[in-house]
Amino acid sequence: MIQKMFLMRKLTECGVIAVIRRLPEALVEQVAEHLVAGGITALEVTVDSPGAFSVIRRLAERLKDRAIVGAGTVLDAESARLAIDSGADFLLSPSLHRDVIQTALRYGKIAVPGVLTPTEMITAVEWGADLVKIFPASAFGAQYIRDIKAPFPHIPVIPTGGIHLGNLASFIQAGAAAVGVGGNLLDRRAIETGDFAKIEALARQYVTVVQQARG
C-alpha cells in the first residue's frame, strides 16, 4: 500500500505525464533524461513504439527514484503483463479494459483506463481503476472536465489528447490531477536535430504552468 501511494504521488506530483510514442529507440534515453531534468516525474512509453518493452526496462532502471515509467496504449492483459514484467509502474489505455485493470491491480501497479462518459468513469472505478484518463480531451475541452468532476469529485482524472501550453492551465484549474502530453511536448524537429535542450526547456515550461495553475 505504501508503495502504491508513492507511485500515485510520483505520477501526479508535477502534473504532466510525458507520452513517448514511436520515437527512434536510440534517442529515447536522451529525451527521457532531458524531460526529467525539466521536472517531469512520469514518463509513458506507448506499447506501439519500437522496442517498447525494452525501452521501458532501460528507462525504469536508469531513472529509478527520479521518475516513474509506465506503459501506454495498453489494450489487453498480455501487453499489461509484459509491460509490468519490463518495469512499468502504471498502465494507461485509451479505452476501458477490465482485464488490463485487473492485471495492474494484481501486481500492485497503477491502472489508468481511458474513459469519456460518466458511466465509463464509474464503471472503471468499480472495476478497480486508480485514476481515469479522459480521452480525447481536446474534443470536449476543459469545461467538460469541470462538469464531469462535479458528480465525481473523488475520481482523479487525467485529460489527454491535444493538451498544449495554451490550454494546459484551464485543464488543471478544472480539476485535472495531471495531464498527458505527447507531441506538443516532445517536439519532433528538436529531437531529430538533437536539440534536447529545447525538450528540457519545454518540460520546464509545462511544469511551471501546472504549478501556477495549482496556485
Return the active site residues.
44, 133
Instruction: Name the DSSP class of 182.
Output: -
Instruction: Name the DSSP class of 134.
Output: E
CB 19 within 8 A of CB 46: yes
Burial of 188 by CB count in 10 Å (0-12 exposed, 13-18 middle, 19+ buried)? exposed
Residue 159, SS3 per DSSP: strand
Rg (CA), the chain: 16
Separation of CA 212 from chain center: 20
Strand ranges across the sheet with 42-46: 110-112, 90-92, 68-72, 42-46, 16-20, 179-181
